[in-house]
């Protein structure tokens, strides 16, 4: 016989005594907390300061409403904040040794954006549950029964801590997908991994919950219950939350009532959030911080999918050390709110859902989205002669180099690669991408010089193959072809001339396209856009002649729009306005906010003669009016970015911060403006594939399909 059983029993008794002592300690702390709160709440000073607290609360509400007012009335002040455009430098905070700050995003080492991993999706709602404390999982599972419809479930279990829950999950929730994860980044590290793998894609709404205990808080367990009941109150309330995210394209996140917090809770996290924003980059106003404290919320998938664009992994999270603040996970909690706001989306609390949903019962209509299309990427005799055999813009795109630290060059194409438009299959793939993401048609530049077509192979291929499902229209790029691609008079390679009879020759050239059943129509008439009507000799008579001939040919006439003149081009003549049906806004030529940030850009290349502007200022200063010069209807235009470094080198103009997040904000505002402008609303994007000018909807290696997904998210469900 040995004494081992007695020793083990004694050890268990000692451990039990320690646990009892700890419980007594916690109960005493709770009672002391309650006693102190009772004293505070019943004190004379609390009663005396009640009016002051009420005024402060009303002041905060008024300040928030003032911030929202410009958006509600359609006028947004030009942004002045540059926070987040560049990685934070030179400040010493307690987060200065953070791995996130130590590992800034290097454009030269950015991995190609992976295509979404589209696992079978059975339902329209996704629940993402992170489990570190398996003992409190029942709190989550009990409330999942409050979901009013079938849902997909992903549970992330922390290795070495929560694996014991797996068998029970498989038995009780056999539809759950279980992922084992390391303890990096608490509940946000696994969420980043799910976003990186494309598993959040394609849902109407995502619910994020986790087994929160918050040992540092006396009310930690009560806080968890409050948060869970906040996001899963009852089936009817949950149904309203999901309906709101489905029907109101302006709502990005729904938080438990009372848990949207602001700038007073930055703590030590602002610098880290700046570092996260700089990985896109986009600018934000630190004073306007709003986020879901406790990180349990309902979200629009668009918001959470953008976490993949951060390109974070386990290296960016410090080893877990019970941080109360200043970790990457704490920064991400706030960053989700910053990201939501930067996307042009609102955050609401559950208590406000019912009233908000009542206003959104009818789905907001969406305009038709049309993107300008450059048919340049194929071999032509002209390009061979001017630039060398086989030249296309891809040559410029590949050789572009950064002009300052943080400048995203070269810009590399994504899944379509460095394509050749002589191959009809490329246009077929482009058509599929456009159709899938809510782009209603492509407006192809038409290069025609008094009977001499240039870059017309893609149009010929399209007309020859009716099976390519691509709605299209033409925009006559009627400016001189110059060595600088700017249409100005220096180094003209092919000049525009308007010899006698040119208008009829032009119309004859267009007619096969106008008769194509895929050709876009506005108000029942084929759409034709003229890039520079002020450059056209006899423009009024020519446009009138085209309309008359189109009517005679049974087309119903023509719907002719002109591009709004840029700063460098001639004004629109009044007589020409009389035969136009409207105008098209064409940024960056006009109608945007301009704010140079060249002085903030680090390590600028010597000899830079162009400029660097804030893309966010361009977005927030954009003119969204729908009445243009001479009273013509003005269709809004947006650009997903602009950076012509590939063509102009050190003479380039760069809009720093062009990214899918800020682009979505601009797109949503422009869509509202287009719909308010009248029947058959149109919204134009510059451009589908202007790769050498940094303006493209097509997937790139950095953001994948995110620009296209921005379009899809804004117009989803809004078609009439």
Whether residues 279 and 201 share a domain: the answer is yes
Looking at residue 386, its pLDDT comes to 85
**Arithmetic mean of pLDDT over the chain:** 88
pLDDT higher than 90, residue 440: yes
pLDDT higher than 60, residue 87: yes
- Measured CA to CA, the distance from residue 81 to residue 170 in angstroms comes to 49
Average pLDDT over residues 49-60: 46
Q: How confident is the model at residue 434 (pLDDT cuts 50, 70, 90)?
A: very high
Whether residues 341 and 375 share a domain: the answer is no
Which 8-state DSSP code applies to residue 591? Answer: S
Which 8-state DSSP code applies to residue 291? Answer: E
Q: Where are the alpha helices (DSSP H) in 323-473?
A: 328-342, 353-359, 381-387, 393-399, 424-436, 457-464
| Of the candidates 102, 99, 79, 105, the residue with the CA atom closest to the CA atom of residue 277 | 105
Is residue 308 in a domain?
Answer: yes
- Measured CA to CA, the distance from residue 560 to residue 526 in angstroms comes to 8
Whether residues 151 and 205 share a domain: the answer is yes
- Measured CA to CA, the distance from residue 183 to residue 161 in angstroms comes to 9
Looking at residue 11, its pLDDT comes to 62
N-terminal to C-terminal alpha carbon distance within the chain: 86
Backbone angles phi, psi at 307, to 5 degrees: -60, -25
Q: Which of 332, 359, 386 is the last residue of a domain?
A: 359
Average pLDDT over residues 147-170: 96
pLDDT higher than 80, residue 619: yes
- Measured CA to CA, the distance from residue 616 to residue 669 in angstroms comes to 13
pLDDT higher than 70, residue 489: no
Q: What is the pLDDT of residues 649-702, one digit of tens each?
A: 999 999 999 999 999 999 999 999 999 999 999 999 999 999 999 999 999 999
- Measured CA to CA, the distance from residue 465 to residue 480 in angstroms comes to 31
User: What is the pTM (predicted TM-score) of this model?
Assistant: 0.88
Whether residues 331 and 423 share a domain: the answer is no
More confident residue, 325 or 425: 425
Backbone angles phi, psi at 296, to 5 degrees: -120, 125
- Find where tokens 């403006």 sit: 673
pLDDT higher than 60, residue 93: no
Q: Identify whether the C-beta of residue 151 lies closer than 8 Å to the C-beta of residue 123.
A: yes
Whether residues 222 and 254 share a domain: the answer is yes
Q: Identify whether the C-beta of residue 411 lies closer than 8 Å to the C-beta of residue 442.
A: no
Average pLDDT over residues 590-603: 95
Q: What is the pLDDT of residues 252-284, one digit of tens each?
A: 999 999 999 999 999 999 999 999 999 999 999
Looking at residue 85, its pLDDT comes to 96
Looking at residue 1, its pLDDT comes to 43
Is residue 21 in a domain?
Answer: no
Average pLDDT over residues 136-165: 96
pLDDT higher than 60, residue 55: no
Q: Which of 314, 341, 359 is the last residue of a domain?
A: 359
What range does the domain containing 522 cover?
A: 368-594+623-651+658-715
Looking at residue 54, its pLDDT comes to 43
Whether residues 541 and 436 share a domain: the answer is yes
Is residue 79 in a domain?
Answer: no
Radius of gyration of the chain (CA): 29
251, containing H or E segment: strand 251-255
pLDDT higher than 80, residue 516: yes
Whether residues 489 and 571 share a domain: the answer is yes
Is residue 29 in a domain?
Answer: no
Whether residues 400 and 303 share a domain: the answer is no
- Measured CA to CA, the distance from residue 391 to residue 383 in angstroms comes to 6
Report CA dihedral (519, 524, 526, 528) to the nearest 10 degrees. -120
Q: Which of 359, 377, 412 is the last residue of a domain?
A: 359
Q: How confident is the model at residue 67 (pLDDT cuts 50, 70, 90)?
A: very low
Q: What is the pLDDT of residues 327-372, one digit of tens each?
A: 999 999 999 999 999 999 999 999 999 999 988 767 779 999 999 9
The CATH number assigned to the domain holding 212 equals: 3.90.550.10
- Find where tokens 């704490």 sit: 330
Is residue 103 in a domain?
Answer: no
Q: What is the pLDDT of residues 530-542, one digit of tens each?
A: 999 988 889 999 9
Share of the chain above pLDDT 90, in %: 72
Q: What is the pLDDT of residues 461-487, one digit of tens each?
A: 999 999 999 999 999 998 888 766 554
- Measured CA to CA, the distance from residue 608 to residue 652 in angstroms comes to 8
Whether residues 428 and 338 share a domain: the answer is no
The CATH number assigned to the domain holding 641 equals: 3.20.20.80
Whether residues 291 and 188 share a domain: the answer is yes
Is residue 108 in a domain?
Answer: no
Looking at residue 314, its pLDDT comes to 92
Beta-bridged to residue 253, according to DSSP, are 299, 347
- Measured CA to CA, the distance from residue 404 to residue 41 in angstroms comes to 57
Whether residues 341 and 227 share a domain: the answer is yes
Q: How many domains does the chain have?
A: 2
Q: How confident is the model at residue 50 (pLDDT cuts 50, 70, 90)?
A: very low
Looking at residue 2, its pLDDT comes to 47
Is residue 141 in a domain?
Answer: yes
Backbone angles phi, psi at 38, to 5 degrees: -60, -45
- Measured CA to CA, the distance from residue 424 to residue 439 in angstroms comes to 19
Is residue 680 in a domain?
Answer: yes
Whether residues 340 and 412 share a domain: the answer is no
Helix (H), strand (E), coil (C) string for 494-562: ECCCCCCCHHHHHHHHHHHHHCCCCECEECCEEEEEECCHHHCCCHHHHHHHHHHHHHHCCCCCCEEEE
Supply angle C-alpha 373, 379, 381, rounded to 5: 115
pLDDT higher than 90, residue 51: no
């Amino acid at each position: 016989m040995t004494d081992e059983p007695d020793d083990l029993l004694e050890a268990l008794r000692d451990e039990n005594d320690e646990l009892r002592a700890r419980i007594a300690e916690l109960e005493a702390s709770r009672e002391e907390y309650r006693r102190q709160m009772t004293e505070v709440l019943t004190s004379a000073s609390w009663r005396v300061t009640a009016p002051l607290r009420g005024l402060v609360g009303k002041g905060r509400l008024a300040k928030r409403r003032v911030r929202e007012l410009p958006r509600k009335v359609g006028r947004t002040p030009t942004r002045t904040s540059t926070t987040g455009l560049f990685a934070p430098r030179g400040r010493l905070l307690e987060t200065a040794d953070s791995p996130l700050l130590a590992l800034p995003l290097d454009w030269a080492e950015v991995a190609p954006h992976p295509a979404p991993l589209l696992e079978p999706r059975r339902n329209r709602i996704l629940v993402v549950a992170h489990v570190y404390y398996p003992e409190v999982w029942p709190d989550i599972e009990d409330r999942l029964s409050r979901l009013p419809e079938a849902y997909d479930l992903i549970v992330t279990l922390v290795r070495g801590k929560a694996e014991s829950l797996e068998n029970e999950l498989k038995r009780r929730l056999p539809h759950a997908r279980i992922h084992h994860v390391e303890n990096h980044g608490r509940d946000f590290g696994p969420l980043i991994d799910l976003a990186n793998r494309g598993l959040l894609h394609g849902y109407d709404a995502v619910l994020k919950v986790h087994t929160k205990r918050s040992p540092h808080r006396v009310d930690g367990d009560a806080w968890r219950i409050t948060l869970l009941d906040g996001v899963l109150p009852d089936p009817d309330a949950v149904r309203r939350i999901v309906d709101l995210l489905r029907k109101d394209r302006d709502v990005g996140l729904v938080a438990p009532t009372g848990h949207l917090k602001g700038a007073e809770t930055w703590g030590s996290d602002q610098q880290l959030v700046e570092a996260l924003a700089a990985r896109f980059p986009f600018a934000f106003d630190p004073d306007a911080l709003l986020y879901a404290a406790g990180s349990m919320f309902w979200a629009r998938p668009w918001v959470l999918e953008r976490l993949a664009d951060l390109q974070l992994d386990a290296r960016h999270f410090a080893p877990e050390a019970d941080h109360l603040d200043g970790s990457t996970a704490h920064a991400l909690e706030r960053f989700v709110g910053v990201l939501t706001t930067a996307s042009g989306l609102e955050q609401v609390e559950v208590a406000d859902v019912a009233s908000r949903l009542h206003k959104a019962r009818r789905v907001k209509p969406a305009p038709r989205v049309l993107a300008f299309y450059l048919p340049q990427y194929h071999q032509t005799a002209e390009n061979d002669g001017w630039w060398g055999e086989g030249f296309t813009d891809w040559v410029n795109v590949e050789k572009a180099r950064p002009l300052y630290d943080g400048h995203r060059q070269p810009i590399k194409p994504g899944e379509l690669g460095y394509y050749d438009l002589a191959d009809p299959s490329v246009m077929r793939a482009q058509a599929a991408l456009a159709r899938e993401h809510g782009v209603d048609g492509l407006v192809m530049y038409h290069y025609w010089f008094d009977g001499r077509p240039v870059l017309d192979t893609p149009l010929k291929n399209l007309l020859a193959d009716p099976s390519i499902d691509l709605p299209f229209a033409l925009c006559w790029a009627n400016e001189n072809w110059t060595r600088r691609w700017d249409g100005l008079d220096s180094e003209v390679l092919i000049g525009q001339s308007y010899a006698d009879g040119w208008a009829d020759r032009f119309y004859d050239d267009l007619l096969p396209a106008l008769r194509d059943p895929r050709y876009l129509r506005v108000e029942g008439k084929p759409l034709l856009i003229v890039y520079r009507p002020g450059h056209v000799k006899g423009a009024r008579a020519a446009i009138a002649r085209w309309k008359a001939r189109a009517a005679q040919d049974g087309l119903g006439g023509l719907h002719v729009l002109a591009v709004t003149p840029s700063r460098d081009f001639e004004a629109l003549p009044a007589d020409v306005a009389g035969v136009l049906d409207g105008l098209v806004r064409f940024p960056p030529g006009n109608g945007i906010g301009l704010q140079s940030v060249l002085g903030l850009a680090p390590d600028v290349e010597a000899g830079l003669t162009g400029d660097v502007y804030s893309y966010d200022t361009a977005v927030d200063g954009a003119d969204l009016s729908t009445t243009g010069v001479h009273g013509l209807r003005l269709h809004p235009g947006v650009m997903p970015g602009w950076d012509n470094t590939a063509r102009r080198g050190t003479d380039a103009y760069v809009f720093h911060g062009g990214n899918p997040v800020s682009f979505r904000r601009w797109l949503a505002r422009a869509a509202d403006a287009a719909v308010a402008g009248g029947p058959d609303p149109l919204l134009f994007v510059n451009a589908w594939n202007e790769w050498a000018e940094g303006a493209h909807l097509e997937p790139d290696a950095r953001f994948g399909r995110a620009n296209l997904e921005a379009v899809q998210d804004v117009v989803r469900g809004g078609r009439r």
